[in-house]
Amino acid sequence: MPTRPQKRMTSQRRIILEELLKSGMHPTADELFLTVRERIPRISLGTVYRNLRSLAEDGRVRPLSDGSRMRFDGNLREHYHIRCLNCGTLDDLPAAAVKGLNESPERWSSYRIIGYKIEFVGFCPNCINASPEVSIEEEMLSDFKRCR
Ligand SMILES: [Zn+2]
Ligand SMILES: [Zn+2]
């Protein structure tokens, strides 16, 4: 069977990366599979997943764990995330939106801190517009600190 796996792999990787960057979102492998399939009709979900994993190993994409699912981020600049509690949309928030967060938290503990994870939660513009009185149960917020 004549194959050129390396070349095919490269162009698949390129298309997967292009689609991820184009989405501007943080798709799961399943979500990205649907858009990649429009360009490579015979690609399988497993192939998309394997390519995403190798792109992550190469530092070309950032894997984000989202509870039980894995999302992928093509934005490699320092930034934070904001999640809609209604529809689950995960958007980028530029690092400048969170000034002062880097101010030595080591002052407050004896840990040697090497990094942090932070995610903001709220309601996206679509959900606010669709239902201005969008609200959530208190227990949904139990994992999150409320802003004041
Ligand atoms: Zn939303
Ligand atoms: Zn992001």
Q: Give the CATH number of domain 79-141.
A: 3.30.1490.190
* Domain regions of the chain by residue span: 5-73, 79-141
84 is in an annotated binding site: yes
Q: What is the pTM of this model?
A: 0.70
147 is in an annotated binding site: no
Three-state DSSP class for residue 14: helix
The answer to whether domain 5-73 has CATH 3.10.20.30 is: no
Q: State the distance from the centre of ligand 1 to the C-alpha of 39, rounded, in angstroms.
A: 28
> Of the ligands numbered here, which is closest to the C-alpha atom of 93?
2
Among candidate residues 9, 39, 35, the one with its CA nearest the CA of residue 24: 35
Q: State the distance from the centre of ligand 1 to the C-alpha of 40, rounded, in angstroms.
A: 30
Per-residue pLDDT of the chain (148 residues; tens, 9 = 90+): 554 454 445 799 999 999 999 988 899 999 999 999 999 999 999 999 999 999 999 999 999 887 778 899 999 988 989 989 998 888 998 888 877 666 667 777 787 777 777 888 999 999 998 876 666 555 555 555 555 4
Three-state DSSP class for residue 44: coil
124 is in an annotated binding site: yes
Chain CA centroid to CA 81, Å? 8
Q: State the distance from the centre of ligand 1 to the C-alpha of 22, rounded, in angstroms.
A: 20
Q: State the distance from the centre of ligand 2 to the C-alpha of 76, rounded, in angstroms.
A: 8
Task: Name the DSSP letter for residue 147.
Answer: P
- The pLDDT value recorded for residue 118 is 82
Three-state DSSP class for residue 65: strand
